[in-house]
Amino acid sequence: MAERLLVFGGGGFVGGNLCGLAVRQGWDVHVADTRTRDALRGVTWHLPDITREREVSALVDRLRPAAVVDLAAVADVDRAERERDLAFAVNARAAGFMASASARSGSRFVYFSSDAVFAGTAESYGESDPPAPVNWYGRTKAEGERLVAEAFPGAALLRISLVLGFPVTDGNSFLAGLELKLRDGREVACPVEEIRTPIDVHTLCACVLEICRAGTAGPLHLGSTNSVDRYTLTRRAAALLGCADTLVTVLPQGGAQAGRAARHARGVIRVGKAKALLSTPLFDWERSLRKAFDDRPAREV
């Protein structure tokens, strides 16, 4: 019998890719989200209100999955800053509900966090470095980590910096958003002082399913083996999209954009622990970016 996987937020960018890979690997995939998506095939849909603990618990208790993954999030940093109550309810409180239910059911649990839990002032960050977020999104993720670890000490807390790839369905994808802007001829201003440690969505999903099988616990950083500034990354992505990289401009250091929340500067996360634990290989940022394009999914699974 196939192992059962429950993915909260499985209809989004990373979730859709994760569920597609899980179906191909033979998992019995269940998706909990706010609506169904026709492009995601071979899964069973559920539509709970994850801000209600009873609905989360009832679903996990009924399905009793081998593994639960929490990808449900208000992931847009600027939206999180505007809609603080919603962001906290989804990114933190609901994660605690899921962790508690998973612990009771004997399911392995994976929580998606972020390098935004760090201040971004150090040269790099390891799993044991203390959180010090500079925006509300980071605060909700740091609190989510705390609530999950408290409810389920055996849970995995995955911190990612930036995910490169394209949606199977829809969702908050950097490359998809960039493509829309550049094809419209719009200028894209990027801060050179913001450093990230990106990972392509296909490598990320393979890592997650490996973690789900192994029952890896505690904080774990997933990203490329080196880091890159936003401006350089975006110019390279524009070239791979076949768009004029002259539309990619430098946002002056300290420059503000209307409605843009504060960002941590150095999202340089060390991935040595993941390299030692996982058989799925991690790549440098340039190869990760190429993989995001080479493995661009069709619009269905």
Among 57, 53, 20, 56, smallest CA distance to 37 is for: 20
pLDDT of residue 252: 84
* pLDDT tens sequence across 243-266: 988 999 998 876 556 678 899 999
The residue with tokens 């069973």 is: 44
Single pTM value for the model: 0.95
* pLDDT tens sequence across 216-240: 999 999 999 999 999 999 999 999 9
CATH architecture assigned to 4-229+258-294 = 3-Layer(aba) Sandwich (3.40)
pLDDT of residue 257: 63
Query: pLDDT grade, residue 29 (50/70/90)?
Result: very high
Q: Give yes or no for residue 189 having a pLDDT over 70.
A: yes
φ/ψ (deg, to 5) at 114: -155, 155
* pLDDT tens sequence across 55-101: 999 999 999 999 999 999 999 999 999 999 999 999 999 999 999 99
Q: Using CA atoms, how far apart are residues 173 and 93, in angstroms rounded to an integer?
A: 24
Query: pLDDT grade, residue 3 (50/70/90)?
Result: very high
Question: Percent of the chain, pLDDT > 90?
Answer: 91
Structure tokens given for 45: 């849909």
* pLDDT tens sequence across 150-184: 999 999 999 999 999 999 988 889 999 999 999 99
Q: Using CA atoms, how far apart are residues 119 and 284, in angstroms rounded to an integer?
A: 23
Among 225, 226, 220, 197, smallest CA distance to 208 is for: 220
